[in-house]
Amino acid sequence: MPAPSLDQLVSLCKRRGFVFPGSDIYGGLANTWDYGPLGVELKNRVKKHWWKTFIHKRQDMMGLDASILMNQKVWEASGHVGSFEDLLVDCKNCNQRFRADHLIEKNLHTDFQELKKSIRDHARKEQDLNYKTVKSEFDKAASKNFLDALHNIFEAEKEWSKFDNDKSIANLIIQTGKIECLNCGKTNWSDARQFNLMFKTYQGVIESDTALVYLRPETAQGIFVNFKNILDTQRPRLPFGVGQIGKAFRNEITPGNFTFRTREFEQMEIEYFIEPGNSEKYFDEWKEIVWKWFTDFGIDKNRLRIREHDKDELSHYSSRTIDIEYQFPWGWGELFGLANRGDFDLSQHEKFSGQDLKYTDPDDPTKKFLPHVIEPSFGCDRSVLTLLLEAYTEEKVNDDIRVVMKFHPSIAPIDVAILPLSKKEHLINKAQEVYKKIIHETELVVDFDITGSIGKRYRRQDEIGTPKCITVDFGTIGEDDAQGEKDTVTIRDRDTLKQERLPIVKLIESLKH
Ligand code: GAP
């Protein structure tokens, strides 16, 4: 089934209590979202599944929960103070700010990285640079008017070597006069400039430079600064990994697309420490492992792809990065990133902290070195968003459209719903007995729903993705043989819509998945 539109999903999420706009009763706060009762169950299940797969079920992995606030030197050492930047442009007419690459992509309906690569490649080969070659490169992506404008600028500038970095290329494209403000439609732009994405705050009561702290922009650094503590207390042998789930904050210039890009989000990150020289082997291993993790949830492989980062797109700490991208309703977008961080972080922290962070080979104490790092980095919110999009299904049943969230049973927010057929007290009591039996004898999350007709309740359970519904009726309490035998209930399957009559004593066995 084709993916739903983002509006369809956002509407279902609000209607059924998965995700609400943040600060809703005050008119919201731009691009903040709160996970409702169903959303928090879904998100917790994704995190639990991740923790079980990567921490509990692997001998070589352990967990950590580091602070969000860290010594500001951490971010100087990690390079985030100097290099964690995006290109920003201001519309001089309406004062709206945009991330330069997003603005260009939205205007030209093309990928900025591709466009940049074409311009940069030609700029580097000055003798090749003429209108025809540039035109043939851009033909697929850009409009004729845009090409003419770009050609005029190339002709006027003549200094091709200037167009060899993100900033000058963004300015070149924006100067064509063809890039319109997404807010007011004008083309009156400031020059593009670098903007640091870290959120700042002050610790304590005095707002001074020494009290300045940053909200962490990635969870990873908590692992690197605890590397020595982990070596000293756990005595791990290489290769080993440390995993962490937690909030990260980035002052994104253009957040948007629901929970895809927000300023506060959650990451699930692993730093996998290895002996130098083995990077490619472990990089490929993690690529396979993570691909399997996503596809085991039933994510359609046709809507997933791997994208290798171009050399000049790499983060300051990475020598190789691939993204797993998902085909979101607005196009391909990063779901997960795998980076080869080498010994960049440990050597920087060694330098800035003055501490010895070397690993000693337990079999040869004379062999001391800084391990290298492979980093699988999952966005928790983007994983949840992807699973919501994948689950959303519309089916024609008789003359009606049934909306059903076909979550993999291991992550469905509710496992089973108990639906008493009527509100009669003795029927409710029997249904309560069944409810208590399931919650006492299993770990399942059980909903007890008595509001509305049975049809409406099935519809609600379909829309929240509950795999099984149990109906307790007058047959169950021995008052109507036509509905079923005494002490039996009906189980309805979300996906097949098949209904089965089962004795209550066999219920627990049948609910195991
Ligand atoms: N430690 C490496 C790191 O942070 P990243 O590619 O910047 O790498 C990793 O982020 C993952 O975090 C991304 O693949 C994405 O899923 C998620 N992520 C990054 N920025 C985000 C944002 N503004 N909103 C939601 N998720 C985000």
Q: Is the CB of 420 under 6 A from ligand 1?
A: no
- Judge residue 158's burial from the number of C-beta atoms within 10 Å of its C-beta, 0-12 exposed, 13-18 middle, 19 or more buried: exposed
Q: Is the CB of 381 under 6 A from ligand 1?
A: yes
Q: What is the pLDDT of residue 113?
A: 81
Q: What is the pLDDT of residue 115?
A: 77
Q: Whose CA is nearest to atom 20 of ligand 1?
A: 261
Distance of CA 181 to the CA centre of its chain: 28
- Bridge partner list, 199: 215
* pLDDT tens digits along 18-57: 999 999 999 999 999 999 999 999 999 999 999 999 999 9
Q: Is the CB of 336 under 6 A from ligand 1?
A: yes
For 424, the token pair is: 């009669």
Contacts of 9 (CB under 8 A, 6+ apart): 258, 329, 388, 389, 392
Q: Whose CA is nearest to atom 5 of ligand 1?
A: 337
* Element (DSSP H or E) covering residue 346: helix 344-353
Rounded to whole angstroms, the Cα distance separating 232 from 226 reads 10
Q: Is the CB of 377 under 6 A from ligand 1?
A: yes
Q: Is the CB of 252 under 6 A from ligand 1?
A: yes
Reduced 3-state DSSP string for 114-166 = HHHHHHHHHHHCHHHCCHHHHHHHHCCCCCHHHHHHHHHHHHHHCCHHHCCCH
Strand order across the 97-99 sheet: 97-99, 85-90, 193-196
Q: Whose CA is nearest to atom 11 of ligand 1?
A: 379
Ligand 1 centroid to Cα of residue 304, in Å, is: 17
Q: What is the pLDDT of residue 176?
A: 79
- Bridge partner list, 261: 256
- Bridge partner list, 374: 272, 340
Place of tokens 């307790």: 472
Q: What is the pLDDT of residue 116?
A: 80
Q: What is the pLDDT of residue 229?
A: 98
Q: Whose CA is nearest to atom 6 of ligand 1?
A: 337
- Bridge partner list, 226: none
Q: What is the pLDDT of residue 111?
A: 81
Q: Is the CB of 334 under 6 A from ligand 1?
A: yes
Classified as helix, coil or strand, 365 is coil
Ligand 1 centroid to Cα of residue 296, in Å, is: 22
- Looking from the CA of residue 261, the nearest atom of ligand 1 is 24
Q: What is the pLDDT of residue 142?
A: 53
Q: What is the pLDDT of residue 137?
A: 55
- Looking from the CA of residue 321, the nearest atom of ligand 1 is 6
For residue 39, which of 426, 319, 385, 495 has the smallest C-alpha distance?
385
Rounded to whole angstroms, the Cα distance separating 481 from 502 reads 14
Distance of CA 344 to the CA centre of its chain: 25
For 106, the token pair is: 């939205």
Rounded to whole angstroms, the Cα distance separating 212 from 203 reads 6
Contacts of 279 (CB under 8 A, 6+ apart): 320, 340, 342, 372, 374
- Looking from the CA of residue 339, the nearest atom of ligand 1 is 2
Q: Whose CA is nearest to atom 14 of ligand 1?
A: 336
Write the DSSP symbol of residue 56: I
Contacts of 79 (CB under 8 A, 6+ apart): 316, 317, 344, 348
Contacts of 312 (CB under 8 A, 6+ apart): 120, 166
* pLDDT tens digits along 286-323: 999 999 999 998 899 999 999 999 887 888 899 999 99
Q: Is the CB of 337 under 6 A from ligand 1?
A: yes
Rounded to whole angstroms, the Cα distance separating 93 from 189 reads 8
Q: Is the CB of 267 under 6 A from ligand 1?
A: yes
Rounded to whole angstroms, the Cα distance separating 62 from 60 reads 7
Q: Is the CB of 250 under 6 A from ligand 1?
A: yes
Ranges of residues in the chain with a pLDDT under 70 are 1-2, 121-148, 151, 154-164, 513
Q: Is the CB of 224 under 6 A from ligand 1?
A: no
Ligand 1 centroid to Cα of residue 379, in Å, is: 5
Q: Whose CA is nearest to atom 16 of ligand 1?
A: 379
Rounded to whole angstroms, the Cα distance separating 404 from 462 reads 5
Q: Whose CA is nearest to atom 15 of ligand 1?
A: 379
Q: Whose CA is nearest to atom 17 of ligand 1?
A: 379
Q: What is the pLDDT of residue 147?
A: 65
Ligand 1 centroid to Cα of residue 51, in Å, is: 18
The amino acid that residue 446 corresponds to is V
Q: Is the CB of 379 under 6 A from ligand 1?
A: yes
Ligand 1 centroid to Cα of residue 436, in Å, is: 41
Q: What is the pLDDT of residue 130?
A: 53
Ligand 1 centroid to Cα of residue 261, in Å, is: 9
Long-range contacts, 34-43 (Cβ 8 Å, 24+): 38/413, 38/414, 38/464, 39/13, 39/384, 39/413, 41/413, 41/414, 41/445, 42/18, 42/384, 42/387, 42/388, 42/407, 42/411, 42/412, 42/413, 43/266, 43/380, 43/381, 43/384
Q: What is the pLDDT of residue 397?
A: 87
- Looking from the CA of residue 217, the nearest atom of ligand 1 is 4
Q: Whose CA is nearest to atom 19 of ligand 1?
A: 379
- Judge residue 273's burial from the number of C-beta atoms within 10 Å of its C-beta, 0-12 exposed, 13-18 middle, 19 or more buried: buried
- Bridge partner list, 98: 89
Q: Is the CB of 345 under 6 A from ligand 1?
A: no
Q: Under a CB-based contact definition with an 8 Å cutoff, are residues 337 and 315 in contact?
A: no
Ligand 1 centroid to Cα of residue 267, in Å, is: 7
Q: Choose one of 377, 381, 385, 387 to mutate for the ligand 1 pocket test, by most ligand atoms within 8 angstroms of C-beta.
A: 377
Q: What is the pLDDT of residue 1?
A: 66
- Bridge partner list, 400: 397
Rounded to whole angstroms, the Cα distance separating 170 from 155 reads 17
